[in-house]
Amino acid sequence: MIESVVLTVTDMKCGGCEANVTGKLTAIEGVISVKASFKEDAVSIDFDNEKTTLASIKDTIAGAGFPVLSD
């Protein structure tokens, strides 16, 4: 089932940070679309929750060096 979530993600400072987060997330099987905005401290993700989990997505973002504050 497709799920959509908007996460509050801090420490993104530029378009390069957005691209980094987007690249890491789109590499996850089941992630359908990603829109990262450093100006809004937000990452919007559409994903298939039968192929990946929200926890995995959050871990990937945190592993890239960007704290996830909420969902």
Q: Quote the CA–CA distance of 59 and 1 in Å, as a whole number.
A: 21
What burial letters (b/e) apply to 29-63, b meaning 16+ CB within 10 Å? ebbeebebebeebebebebeeeebeeebbbebbee
Strand order in the sheet with 2-9: 31-37, 42-48, 2-9, 68-70
> pLDDT tens digits, residue range 9-62?
999 999 999 999 999 999 999 999 999 999 999 999 999 999 999 999 999 999
Prediction pTM value: 0.93
Please report the domains of the chain, with CATH numbers, ordered by start residue: 2-70 (3.30.70.100)
According to the model, what pLDDT value does residue 31 have?
A: 98
According to the model, what pLDDT value does residue 26 have?
A: 97
Neighbours of 17 (CB within 10 A): 17
According to the model, what pLDDT value does residue 70 have?
A: 63
